C-alpha cells in the first residue's frame, strides 16, 4: 500500500465525509498529496461549512501527509477551474482527479419538481464534467510540453441507481448513468495523451444512503466507505496505466467489474408495425431482464 501513489497529486471532490473522505485519507496514506474539496453542505446540497474538509486535511497532515482545503463549487465552470489551478499552484502539478461530490433530492417522478431535477443533475453530472474538462486541458498541455503521454487519472463516481436503476431516484439515477457514459467516452478521447478514466459504483453506508432502508450492524461494517477506497487508490496509481473506461462496483463485501449495454437478439427490419410487434416481443422474451439493485437480472 505505502508508496503506491508516492509523489502524486490528487484532488478529491466531496471529500469531507463518507466515501470521499476515505478516498482522500487512503490516497494520502499511499503517498499522494491531496486537495480536499468540499462545500460542506447538507445531503440535499443546502448550506456550506468548510470545517469538515479542514478536519480531513488536518488528519492527513497529522499522519505525516500533505493536504490543502478547497471550497469551490464543482458544478461551477470557474469554480472547477480554480480548484484545478489551486492543486497545481499548491503542489506543483496534478495527477489524479477523483470526482465524488454529490447530493440527493429523492422524489417519485410524478411529484418531482424542476428544481429537484436540475440541482441533482447540476452537482453530479456538471460537477463531473467541469473539473474533468479543466484537468484534461491541463494534461493535454503537459503532453504537448513533454511530447508524449502523461500519467493522468480521472476516477468518477457512478451508482447502482444509475447503472441498475432505483425507484424514487430518476434525477440521481439519470445523473449517475450519465456519469457512466461520460466515463466510457472520455476514456476513449483521452487515451492518446496518457489519461485513464474509470468510475466506481460504491456500495457504502453513508449519510446519503442511511435513509434508504434499515441496515444491520454487520451490513454497516461491510458497507463502511473505507472498503471502496482501495479500488480508487489502485486506479489512481501509475500501475493502472492500462485500465480505462471501466465501471467497477466496490464495497459491501465485494469488488466487481460492471458490464454495460450490449446488443442482444436482433432481426431484419420490417416496415409493418403490426408484423414487427410480435417479433419485438419475442426478442424481449429471449433477452435477460434488466438488473435489480443487486446487479442480478430481475425475475
- Domains of the chain, residue spans: 9-258, 265-299
Is residue 211 classed as helix, strand or coil in its secondary structure?
coil
Per cent of the chain over pLDDT 70 is 91
Burial classification of residue 10, based on how many CB atoms lie within 10 Å of its CB (0-12 exposed, 13-18 middle, 19 or more buried): buried
pLDDT at 204: 73
Owner of C-alpha cell 468548510? 50
Residue 293, judged by CB atoms within 10 A of its CB (0-12, 13-18, 19+), counts as middle
Please say if the pLDDT value at position 258 is more than 90: yes
The residues, any chain, with a CB within 8 Å of residue 167's CB and separated by 6 or more, are 108
How far apart CA 86 and CA 88 sit, in angstroms, is 5
Report how far residue 44's alpha carbon sits from residue 66's, in angstroms, rounded to the nearest whole number.
30
Q: What is the pLDDT of residues 169-213, one digit of tens each?
A: 999 999 999 999 999 999 999 999 999 999 999 997 755 554 555
What would the grid cell of residue 169 be?
431516484
Q: How far is CA 44 from the centre of its chain?
A: 18
Q: Find where cell 489524479 sits.
A: 96
Torsion sign across C-alpha atoms 59, 51, 78, 114: positive
What the block records as the C-alpha cell of 128 is: 463531473
- pLDDT at residue 288 is higher than 70: yes
User: Who has greater pLDDT, 291 or 81?
Assistant: 81
Q: What is the pLDDT of residue 63?
A: 97
**Global pTM value:** 0.92
- Residue 252 pLDDT: 87
What pLDDT was estimated at residue 48? 67
CA–CA dist 32, 38 (Å, integer): 18
Q: Are strands 254-258 and 247-251 parallel, antiparallel or unpaired?
A: antiparallel
Mean per-residue pLDDT, 66-85: 98
CATH topology for the 9-258 domain: Rossmann fold (3.40.50)
Q: What is the mean pLDDT of residues 282-289?
A: 92
Q: Which residues contact 138 (CB under 8 A, 6 or more apart)?
A: 84, 88, 94
- Work out the mean pLDDT of the chain and round it to a whole number: 92
Output the pLDDT for position 2.
66
Mean pLDDT of 80-93: 98
- Binning the chain into helix, strand and coil, the percentages to the nearest 5 are 45, 15, 40
All three cell numbers of 171? 434525477
- pLDDT category at 43 given cuts 50, 70, 90 is low
Query: 3-class SS at 223?
Result: coil
The 10s digit of each residue's pLDDT in 118-154 is 999 999 999 999 999 999 999 999 999 999 999 999 9
**H/E run at residue 97:** strand 96-98
- 163, 176 contact by CB (below 8 A): yes
Could you please report the per-residue DSSP string of 261-283? ----S-----S-HHHHHHHHHHH
Residue 218 binned pLDDT confidence (cut-offs 50, 70, 90): low
pLDDT for res 202: 94
Which of these, 203, 226, 227, lies nearest to 215 by C-alpha position? 203
For residue 255, what are the β-bridge partners?
250
Q: Give catalytic residues, as residue numbers.
A: 159, 172, 176
**Contact call for residues 36 and 23 (beta carbons, < 8 A):** no
Q: What is the pLDDT of residue 199?
A: 98
Amino acid at each position: 500500500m505505502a508508496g503506491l501513489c508516492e509523489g502524486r497529486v490528487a484532488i478529491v471532490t466531496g471529500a469531507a465525509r463518507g466515501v470521499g473522505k476515505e478516498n482522500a485519507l487512503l490516497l494520502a496514506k499511499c503517498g499522494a498529496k491531496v486537495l480536499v474539496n468540499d462545500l460542506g453542505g447538507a445531503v440535499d446540497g443546502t448550506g456550506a461549512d468548510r470545517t469538515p474538509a479542514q478536519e480531513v486535511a488536518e488528519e492527513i497532515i497529522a499522519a505525516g501527509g500533505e493536504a490543502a482545503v478547497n471550497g469551490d463549487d464543482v458544478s461551477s465552470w470557474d469554480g472547477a477551474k480554480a480548484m484545478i489551478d489551486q492543486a497545481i499552484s499548491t503542489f506543483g502539478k496534478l495527477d489524479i482527479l477523483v470526482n465524488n461530490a454529490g447530493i440527493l433530492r429523492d422524489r417519485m417522478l410524478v411529484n418531482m419538481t424542476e428544481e429537484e431535477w436540475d440541482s441533482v443533475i447540476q452537482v453530479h453530472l456538471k460537477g463531473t464534467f467541469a473539473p474533468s474538462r479543466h484537468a484534461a486541458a491541463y494534461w493535454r498541455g503537459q503532453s504537448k510540453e513533454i511530447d508524449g503521454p502523461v500519467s493522468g487519472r480521472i476516477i468518477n463516481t457512478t451508482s447502482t441507481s444509475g447503472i441498475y436503476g432505483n425507484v424514487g431516484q430518476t434525477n440521481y439515477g439519470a445523473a449517475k448513468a450519465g456519469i457512466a457514459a461520460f466515463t466510457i467516452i472520455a476514456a476513449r478521447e483521452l487515451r492518446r495523451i496518457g489519461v485513464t478514466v474509470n468510475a466506481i459504483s460504491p456500495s457504502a453506508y453513508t449519510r446519503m444512503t442511511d435513509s434508504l432502508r434499515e441496515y444491520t450492524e454487520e451490513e454497516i461494517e461491510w458497507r463502511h466507505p473505507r472498503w471502496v477506497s482501495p479500488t480508487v487508490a489502485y486506479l489512481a496509481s501509475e500501475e493502472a496505466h492500462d485500465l480505462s473506461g471501466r465501471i467497477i462496483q466496490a464495497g459491501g463485501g465485494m469488488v466487481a467489474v460492471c458490464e454495460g449495454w450490449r446488443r442482444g437478439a436482433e432481426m431484419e427490419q420490417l416496415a409493418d408495425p403490426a408484423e414487427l410487434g410480435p417479433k419485438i416481443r419475442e426478442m424481449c422474451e429471449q433477452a435477460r431482464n434488466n438488473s435489480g439493485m443487486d446487479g442480478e437480472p430481475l425475475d
